[in-house]
Chains A and B, each alone.
Chain A
Amino acid sequence: MTESTASLVNLSRRGVLAALGISAGGLLLGGPSALLAATGDNPASFGPMLSIAADGAITLVVPSSEMGQGTQEALARIVAEELDCDFTKLTVLLPWADPAFSNPAARRQLTANSMSVTGYYTTLRKLGAGARAMLVQVAATRLGVAVESLSVNAGQITGGPKPLSFADVAADAARLPVPANPSLKDPAKFTVIGGKTPRKDLHAKVTGTATFGIDVAEPDMLIAALVLAPHPEATFTATGLHEARKLPGVVATASVKGGVAILADRFWCAHKAAQTVTLDVTASPIAGLSDETLRAGMQAAFDTVEPAPFPNLELGVFPPKLDRAAKPKVLEALATAPRKVEATYEVPHLAHATMEPICCAARVDGTGLLIRGPLQDPSLSRELGAKLTGLPLEKVRVEVTFLGGGFGRKWGTDFVAIAIQAAQAAPGRLVKTVWTREQDFAMDQFRPAFAVRSVAALDKDGRPTAIHSRIAGESISAYHNKAPFPGFEGMADANAAAQLVYGAYAVPQKLIEYHKTDLTVPVGFWRSVTMSQNAFFAESFIDELAFAAGQDQLAFRLAMLESQPRIRAVLEKAAAMIGWKARKPGTGKGKGRGIAFSYAENSFCAIACEVTVKGKALKIDRIASAFDCGLAIDPVSTEGQISGGIVFGLQAALWGEVHFADGRPTAENFGDYRMPLLADVPPIDVALIPGGTRPGPVGEASTPVFAPALCNAIADAGGPRIRALPIARTLDI
């Protein structure tokens, strides 16, 4: 991903100060930029994120949404590292929607794709370094010494005739021009970055004082409970609304996208009233949908839909390279191969099941629209608010709370639209829409189901010479009307097809194709998106090739990864952690070990695991993971993302499956969608491998790797080759 300055917004500094009500004397800096240097008077891309008060308190608005991934801590550390402040005096604020807070990598303010740290890294370093330079400049002038003679540590400026603190010089420093290119630290001297102190948000999270979306409250607030049809585009007639309005506590009812809302003074009143209302569905895009029709739809796509190609992605280099396959060459290699291996795979729809059910608060009044909630995409929420209310964008304020889990679900804005529509029924009052867990499951935007057909050619030595994999399943981009990524026009939806065959493997001929499948199931972005299915497909098939070749699964992979030192390193480390010894695959006699990896630009994750298989009984004995994300800003949190991501992947691998019957998903609550508990989680060891001075993506890295590692281990133990997830369809666990 390349840094871009295209999102820089030239805001008037005075306008920004006025809008925020920041008193004179505080230090406000935008991200440094060429713009700023050119004009000398305008804060740049990220506008007002940092302030230093007269008492030395430092406040940083972290522009990304905190949903557990630790973005708040990581971004704060980046600024603090270059600022050389006392990190304990830095307080973090949750963000609001503001173009000045856009992620340079996305050119929007959204938290997704594991790109908060990577996208904001350079800009936030410059923000901290620029502020530091201004503070030191004032100190040097005041003390009559050269800037170079001063040093800064924990907010204290020393080296002159007397020490000065940031608080002493902040007011004057704020009046200086912001340096365009402040010198940045040598990463070897980082102390805050790479440190192991506990995250700043932990205290609030263990005392129950962290404010999540569901905790938003103010006097006179109303709660909206929903009655929802089985699909957002379904049409229906509602019965019982008139009677519901007369129930105790009920204030109003509202039509919302795909259903109705009952507004009451308390959740329980709204909830009870909602249960008295029924929707008679007159038409639904998924009428009659069932597991059987879904499977038939994918079969039909393979049979009747002309496949769209997708390029191989070489992500081990920066910037990543695209390699467009020559289909005739691939087909010829397959046709003339001495040996072919074929396999078909499938994965089901998956639910997000964030612990905080979907919720969002909104208020429409004379001053505009306020949206306050657990949002991954405040930019889009704001635009949606303007569209739905007809208000100009500047009259729409969007405030982001802590997210009780996001995993991509809260990137959707379906629930924001519903919250706004509910609020429009009670102008002047904050209305908090709270979904039940049942609604959270039923009206999820699921990870789509996919089916894959793969074929590979092996030469006489068992080396793969060609791999052709085709995938069918619903397009997330099509469901959300999203344009293809730049450079991918006319190609398959990357969310379905990318890395279906790993570009990293030195296989001479590789071809990825996508049979677009129209199923109209609401689908969306689920932690690791494409890789959530394709790591399973890609790494299971490679393992099957190792079996066919009769070669040790690790050695087989390494032989195709000679130009991928960082992938080799994580594979070899994970293997060592699990005690891997080379042998013929599938000969584990009930005790197997498997390995798999996934990768993105500057992010490489390998997982090895050990299992015991006796008949149909599966036991996962141990899990080990090695991870290289370049520079880990917050290593303890990074390790937690890897082990937590494995548990997330374990749920999907073992039990994750949303069934459909009679035109609706059947999962109602956790009883129908099994979650791992403490007793289900085996020991997980994580090793971080340093990989340079640039941070890479973290939050989605391990989730997709666990399923193939586990299935490969099961096959190695002599158990069945799992080609359809979840594993509980085949084995007992």
Chain B
Amino acid sequence: MPVITVNGQQRDCPADPDTPLLWALREELGLTGTKFGCGVGACGACTVHVDGEAVRSCQLPLSDVGAGKVTTIEALSPAEAQALHPVQQAWIEAQVPQCGYCQPGMIMAVSALLARDPDPSEATIREQITNICRCGTYPRIVAAVRQAAAANRKAS
């Protein structure tokens, strides 16, 4: 049985090894914040972190997760922090979400970007974040990423 490290815990995943990480997270571990959008890695709704990098989990078979440390939206902000991640906070302040379905993936993609580039230019944000939002929340996403980046700088 595949065993993977998710949100800091070793978890048994009694699913077929070819099951995409997305479905293992959702159905074996009950972590439904990670969404199914396209199944082909095109939309980014299933974005999680593996060793801190943004990964489209519908394209990663359980058998390939190996020792990778998986973080999902549910644990983006560690429980001990008792506060939302700066990106989540910025998302609320800028009132980004509409239907909200793509936003966990969007937030995971953005938080990974900010982890490697704490102060991205607008051009970088537009180029690097390639998740699809059908509600068209993009204008506020740019504003919110810059807000989160500013909060990061203040905190550090």
A binding-site residues for B, Cβ under 8 Å:
66-70, 198-199, 201-212, 214-215, 217, 223, 248, 266-269, 272, 353-357, 402-407, 434, 436-438, 636-637, 640-641, 643-648, 650, 669-671, 675-679, 681, 683-684
Contacts and interface: CB of A to CB of B under 8 A. Distances in A.
Contact of B43 (A69, A355, A679): A355
Contacts of B121: none
B138 A681 contact: yes
B97 interface: yes
12 contacts: A201-B100, A205-B97, A206-B104, A207-B74, A217-B32, A267-B26, A437-B38, A438-B39, A640-B98, A646-B136, A669-B38, A676-B138
Contacts of A356: 35, 37, 99, 101
B40 interface: yes
A675 B132 contact: yes
A648 B32 contact: no
A68 B38 contact: no
Contacts of A272: 16
A88 to B, nearest CB: 14
Contacts of B101: 212, 354-356, 404-405
Contacts of B40: 437, 669-671
Q: Which of B73, B99, B101 has the most CB of A within 10 A?
A: B99
Contacts of A644: 98, 135-137
B36 A214 contact: yes
Given A354-B134, A356-B35, A405-B135, A206 B95 contact: no
Contacts of A681: 136, 138-139
A298 B36 CA distance: 37
Q: How large is the interface on B (under 10, 10 to 19, 20 to 34, 35 or more residues)?
A: 35 or more
B43 to A, nearest CB: 6
Contacts of A199: 95, 97
Nearest to B44: A677
B112 interface: no
A381 B134 CA distance: 25
B27 A206 contact: no
Contacts of B39: 436-438, 669
Closest 5 CB pairs of A and B: A208-B33, A647-B136, A68-B99, A205-B100, A404-B101
Nearest to B133: A355
Contacts of B20: 268
A506 to B, nearest CB: 34
Contacts of B34: 208
Interface of B is mostly: loop
Given A267-B23, A678-B129, A678-B142, A207 B95 contact: no
A231 B31 CA distance: 35
B143 to A, nearest CB: 11
Given A214-B36, A215-B32, A681-B138, A206 B99 contact: no
Contact of B37 (A203, A355, A650): A355
A640 B138 CA distance: 10
B73 A248 contact: no
Contacts of B57: none
Contacts of B23: 266-268
A701 B17 CA distance: 47
Nearest to B97: A205
B65 to A, nearest CB: 15
B94 to A, nearest CB: 9
B101 to A, nearest CB: 3
Interface string B126-153: 1101111111111111100000000000
Contacts of B43: 355, 670, 675
Nearest to A679: B126
A437 B37 contact: yes
Nearest to A216: B32
Interface of B: 15-16, 18-20, 23, 26-27, 30-40, 42-43, 45, 72-74, 84, 88, 91-93, 95-104, 107, 125-127, 129-142
Contacts of A268: 15-16, 18-20, 23
Nearest to A249: B16
A676 B3 CA distance: 37
Nearest to B32: A215
A687 to B, nearest CB: 14
Nearest to A670: B42
A206 B132 CA distance: 16
Nearest to A66: B99
A206 B131 CA distance: 15
Contacts of B42: 669-671
A531 B32 CA distance: 36
Given A198-B93, A678-B130, 14 more contacts: A67-B99, A201-B97, A267-B26, A355-B45, A355-B132, A357-B36, A405-B135, A407-B134, A437-B40, A669-B39, A669-B40, A670-B43, A677-B132, A684-B139
Contacts of A405: 99, 101, 134-135
A69 B98 CA distance: 6
A198 B45 CA distance: 23
Given A206-B84, A356-B101, A643 B35 contact: no
A198 B43 CA distance: 26
B138 A355 contact: no
B27 to A, nearest CB: 5
B52 to A, nearest CB: 18
A672 to B, nearest CB: 10
Interface centre among B26, B104, B126, B134 (most CB of A within 10 A): B134
A676 B137 CA distance: 11
Nearest to A436: B39
Contacts of A648: 134-136
Contacts of B88: 206-207
A212 B137 CA distance: 18
A204 B88 CA distance: 10
Contact of B138 (A198, A206, A647): A647
A437 B41 CA distance: 11
A323 B141 CA distance: 45
Contact of A636 (B38, B45, B95, B139): B95
Contacts of B133: 355
A405 B134 CA distance: 8
B67 to A, nearest CB: 22
A438 B36 CA distance: 12
B73 A207 contact: yes
B139 A206 contact: no
A212 B98 CA distance: 13
A531 to B, nearest CB: 17
A679 B122 CA distance: 10
B134 A678 contact: no
Contact of B100 (A210, A214, A675): A210
Contacts of A211: 32
Nearest to A637: B95
B35 A214 contact: yes
A355 B92 contact: no
Given A671-B42, A678-B142, A404 B35 contact: yes
Contacts of A201: 97, 100
Most buried by B among A223, A355, A403, A641: A355
Residue from the set A198, A268, A643, A648 with the largest chain B CB neighbour count within 10 Å: A268
A314 B40 CA distance: 47
Contacts of A215: 26, 32
Q: Which of B18, B92, B101 has the most CB of A within 10 A?
A: B101
B129 A670 contact: no
B110 to A, nearest CB: 10
A506 B95 CA distance: 40
A406 B98 CA distance: 11
Given A355-B45, A678-B141, A684-B139, A434 B36 contact: yes
B136 A670 contact: no
A202 B97 contact: yes
Contacts of A683: 139
A681 B133 CA distance: 11
Contact of B135 (A68, A209, A650, A679): A68
Contacts of B135: 68, 355, 405, 644, 647-648
